Amino acid sequence: MSLDKATVAHIAKLARIRVDEVDLEPLASELSGILKWIEQLDEVDTAGVEPMTSAVETTLRWRADAVTDGDCRDKVLANAPQTAEGYFAVPKVIE
Amino acid sequence: MTADLTELTVGSARDGLDKGEFTSRELTEAHLRAIEAAASLNAFILPTPHRALADADASDARRAKGEQGALDGIPVAIKDLFCTEGVPTTAGSRILEGFTPPYESTVTANLRSAGAVMLGKTNMDEFAMGSSNETSYFGPALNPWRRAGDNRAVVPGGSSGGSAAAVAARLALAAAGSDTGGSIRQPASFTGTVGMKPTYGRCSRWGMVAFASSLDQAGPFARSVGDAAIVLGAMAGYDEKDATCVDVAVPDYEAALTGDVAGLRIGIPKEYRVDGTPAEVEALWQQGIAWLRDAGAKIVDVSLPHTRYALPAYYIVAPAEASSNLARYDGVRYGLRVAGETLEEMYEATRAEGFGTEVRRRVLIGTYVLSAGYYDAYYLKAQKVRTLIKQDFVDAWQSVDALLTPTTPTAAFGVGERIDDPVSMYLNDILTVPANMAGLPGISVPAGLSGDGLPLGLHVVGRAFDEETVLRVAHVVERAAAFDSRPEPWWDGAP
C-alpha cells in the first residue's frame, strides 16, 4: 500500500499533528517505504488464528468498588500550562 | 578505603558498606564526580546530586541502626522514562519539558524502598522510540566505547542508551531501563554491559511513561549477571496499580546463580541466523554454544518458524499502541503548549513542535493502521502473527529450557550512520523483538569484541516467569567468556 499526499494529510489531521504542505510528499514516500516492508506479513497464513490479547495469560482481578484516590486538585493542575479558577484553561471553543 | 569506588560491583559495594569500609556518602560522591567529569557522554538528561547525597546520608543513618535494605546506599541511574516525584521527567521529549511528576513510579519506589540512591535521570530515545539514542530531544548519549584506532563517536544503542553508557563508563553501579523491542538488551550489547528484560508482568508499569503498553517492561543494567539479579529482585514485584502486573512471588535471583547448567537443554534457533550477519557474530554464537556444551548443557537445534515476521508485526503493534498512548500530549494538562487561534490549532501546533521526527513517524503509522478500513488488514493481522510467534516458543519449550542467540546482528555503529534510514535502524532489534512479542524474559551478556574492538553480547531467552534459568545460563556464559575488556576513557575529565 502506498500512501499519497492526501492520505498523509488526513492521518496527520486524525493524529492532530500539523504537517506543513512541503513535508507531505517526502513523508508519504517515507511512510510508504515502511508500510511496504511491513506488508511481508501478507505471506503468513493466519486463517483460523486467534489474535493475541495478552502476552502473558492472566485473568483480570476484582477489586472493591471503593474510592482510593482523589482530593488532589492542586496537584493535578500543578503541571498545566494554563489554569483558571481551579480548571484547565484552553482557547475558547464556544462562540 | 578502596582506591576507586566506581570500579566496584553492586555486590562488592554492598559488602563494603556492610563491613564499614566506606560510607554510602563516599560511594555516592565518587559517582557524582565521575558523572561531572563525563558530561561529554551526555548520559544524563538530569543529574540529581543533591537528591543523591540526601539519599546517601539517609542510607548511612539506616545502616548505623542495622535497618538496611537489599540495595541500601547503592548509587543507581534511572532512565528518564520513570516518573520520579518532584524530579522532572521528560522521556527524552520536548513535549514533556518542564513536567514534574507529582507521583513516583512503582519501579523507582521499589528501588527507593530497597535503599538505592538515585544519581539522576538518564538520556534516552524520545519516548523510547529508537535504537541509537539519537532521537532524544536532548542530543544523543555517546557510547564510552569507540572503534580501535578511530576517534569518531559510536552510539550506545537505544532506547535506554544513557543508562547503558552510565553503567559502562562507571558513572553508576547499575541502572534502570525499559525494553519494548530490545531497548535494554541492544544497548547492553553495544556497551559491554549486562541488561535484562524480565517477563511481561514481572515489573509494574505504573508511572512509566507509556510507549507500547502490551510490550513495555522495566529491567536492570549492571556490570555483572549477579548484579543484574540483585537489582531485578529489588525492582520486581506485584503491584495492584498495574492490571497487567502478575501476582507471583519474586524468587531470590542471586540464589539462582548456581554455576550449574549440567543437563539443561539449550535451544539454538536456526532462524536467528539472519542474512548478512557478520562472521564474527556467528563465530561468537558458536563460541557461546561451545561454552555451554563444555559446562554440561545439552545443545538442541530448534526452529521458530515465524521469527522473521516478528519485527514487521512489531512495527504495527508498537506504533498503534504509541499513537493511542501519545494522544494524551495535547498541551492541556502538562508539558509544552504552543499557542493556536483555536483549540484544534493549539493541539496541532503543540504536537508538531513537541514531537521529534521519529515519534511523528510512528504516531502517523499507528494512526494509519488503526484508521477506519485498515484495522483488520494491519492491527488484527499483526496480533494473529503474534499468536503464531508465541506458539513457536511454546513448541520450543517442549524440548528446551532456554535459548541462546546473539543479541544484535552487528556491533555498535557510528553516530549519524543509520539515522536517515528508518528500516535499517529498525533491523537492530530483529533478534530481541520476538521475546517482547511473546512476553518472555531475556538477557544480554557481554561475550567478546568485534574485529574493530567493540563489545558484542550473547542473548539468553527463557520461559515466562523463569528468570532464574535465564540468569543461571547467563552466569555460566559470563564466567566462560571472562569478558574483562573495558572502554579506554577518552571523554573530558576521564580518570
Instruction: Please write the tens of the pLDDT for every residue from B368-393.
Output: 999 989 999 999 999 999 999 999 99
The CB density around residue B434, as the number of other CB atoms within 10 Å, is: 33
Residue B382 contacts A where some CB pair is shorter than 8 Å: yes
Task: Give yes or no for a contact between B364 and A7, defined as CB atoms under 8 angstroms apart.
Answer: no
- What mean pLDDT do residues B363-371 have? 97
Told to judge if B159 belongs to the known catalytic residues of this protein, a careful annotator would answer yes
Instruction: For chain B, give the percent of residues with pLDDT over 70.
Output: 99
Options B183, B224, B323, B444, the catalytic residue: B183
- Peptide bond before B159: cis, by omega within 30 degrees of 0? yes
Regions in chain A scoring below 50 on pLDDT = none
Distance (Å, whole) CA A17 – CA B313: 25
Dmax over CA atoms of chain A, in Å, equals: 57
Nearest chain A residue to B330 by CA distance is A16
Residue A12 contacts B where some CB pair is shorter than 8 Å: yes
The nearest CA of chain A is from the CA of B398 a distance in Å of 18
Mean pLDDT of chain B: 96
All cell numbers assigned to B175: 541502572
Chain B residues 83-102 within an 8 A CB cutoff of chain A:
98-100, 102
Please answer yes or no on whether A30 and B382 come within 8 Å at the CB atom: no
Distance (Å, whole) CA B182 – CA B168: 18
Nearest chain B residue to A26 by CA distance is B361
Q: Give the full edge-to-edge strand order of the sheet including B265-269.
A: B44-47, B117-122, B75-79, B174-179, B217-222, B194-197, B442-449, B455-462, B402-406, B265-269, B298-302
All cell numbers assigned to B65: 541502626
Question: b or e along B59-93 (b: 16 or more beta carbons within 10 Å of the residue's beta carbon)?
Answer: bbebbeeeebbbbbbbbbbbbbbbbbeebbbbbbb
Chain A residues within 8 A of B364 when measuring between CB atoms: 8, 11-12, 15, 17, 27, 31
Told to judge if B12 belongs to the known catalytic residues of this protein, a careful annotator would answer no
Residue B2 has pLDDT above 50, yes or no: no
Residue B1 has pLDDT above 60, yes or no: no
Residue A84 contacts B where some CB pair is shorter than 8 Å: no
- What mean pLDDT do residues B349-366 have? 98
Told to judge if B79 belongs to the known catalytic residues of this protein, a careful annotator would answer yes
Amino acid at residue number B33: R
Options B79, B93, B178, B204, the catalytic residue: B79
Residue A24 contacts B where some CB pair is shorter than 8 Å: no
**pLDDT, position A57:** 81
Dmax over CA atoms of chain B, in Å, equals: 70
Question: What is the torsional sign of CA B302, B303, B309, B314?
Answer: negative
Chain A residues within 8 A of B429 when measuring between CB atoms: none
**Which of B346, B352, B383 lies at the smallest CB-CB distance from A51?**
B383
Please answer yes or no on whether A54 and B214 come within 8 Å at the CB atom: yes
Residue with the three cell numbers 540483585: B230
Residue B299 contacts A where some CB pair is shorter than 8 Å: no
The CB density around residue A93, as the number of other CB atoms within 10 Å, is: 8
Q: What's the whole-model pTM score?
A: 0.97
Residue B351 has pLDDT above 80, yes or no: yes
**Which of B99, B201, B364 lies at the smallest CB-CB distance from A56?**
B201
Chain A residues within 8 A of B355 when measuring between CB atoms: 17
Residue A28 contacts B where some CB pair is shorter than 8 Å: no
Task: Give yes or no for a contact between B402 and B292, defined as CB atoms under 8 angstroms apart.
Answer: no
Phi and psi torsions of B486, nearest 5°: -150, 160
Distance (Å, whole) CA B411 – CA B30: 30
Options B131, B132, B159, B160, the catalytic residue: B159
Residue with the three cell numbers 540529581: B48
Phi and psi torsions of B176, nearest 5°: -100, 140
Please answer yes or no on whether B102 and A81 come within 8 Å at the CB atom: no
Please answer yes or no on whether B390 and A58 come within 8 Å at the CB atom: no
Q: Is B9 helix (H, G, I), strand (E, B) or coil?
A: coil
Residue of A5, A30, A38 to mutate when probing chain B, most B C-beta within 10 A? A38
Please answer yes or no on whether B368 and A3 come within 8 Å at the CB atom: yes
Question: What is the torsional sign of CA B465, B468, B469, B474?
Answer: positive
All cell numbers assigned to B215: 510490550
User: Model confidence over B213-247: pLDDT tens digits?
Assistant: 999 999 999 999 999 999 999 999 999 999 999 99
Phi and psi torsions of B302, nearest 5°: -130, 165
User: Model confidence over B425-481: pLDDT tens digits?
Assistant: 898 899 999 999 999 999 999 999 999 999 999 999 999 999 999 999 999 999 999
Distance (Å, whole) CA B204 – CA B217: 8
Please answer yes or no on whether A51 and B100 come within 8 Å at the CB atom: no
Phi and psi torsions of B376, nearest 5°: -65, -40
Residue A16 contacts B where some CB pair is shorter than 8 Å: yes
Residue B243 contacts A where some CB pair is shorter than 8 Å: yes
Q: Is B414 helix (H, G, I), strand (E, B) or coil?
A: strand
All cell numbers assigned to B378: 494491519
Predicted ipTM?
0.96
User: Model confidence over B131-174: pLDDT tens digits?
Assistant: 999 999 999 999 999 999 999 999 999 999 999 999 999 999 99
In 3D space, the residue among A48, A1, A65 whose CA is nearest the CA of residue A28 turns out to be A1
All cell numbers assigned to B322: 504509541
Nearest chain A residue to B324 by CA distance is A15
User: Model confidence over B389-430: pLDDT tens digits?
Assistant: 999 999 999 999 999 999 999 999 999 999 988 888 898 899
What beta strand segments (E) does B296-375 contain?
Answer: 298-302
- What mean pLDDT do residues B355-373 have? 96
Residue of B87, B246, B381 to mutate when probing chain A, most A C-beta within 10 A? B381
- What mean pLDDT do residues B72-93 have? 98
Chain B residues within 8 A of A81 when measuring between CB atoms: 331-332, 334-337
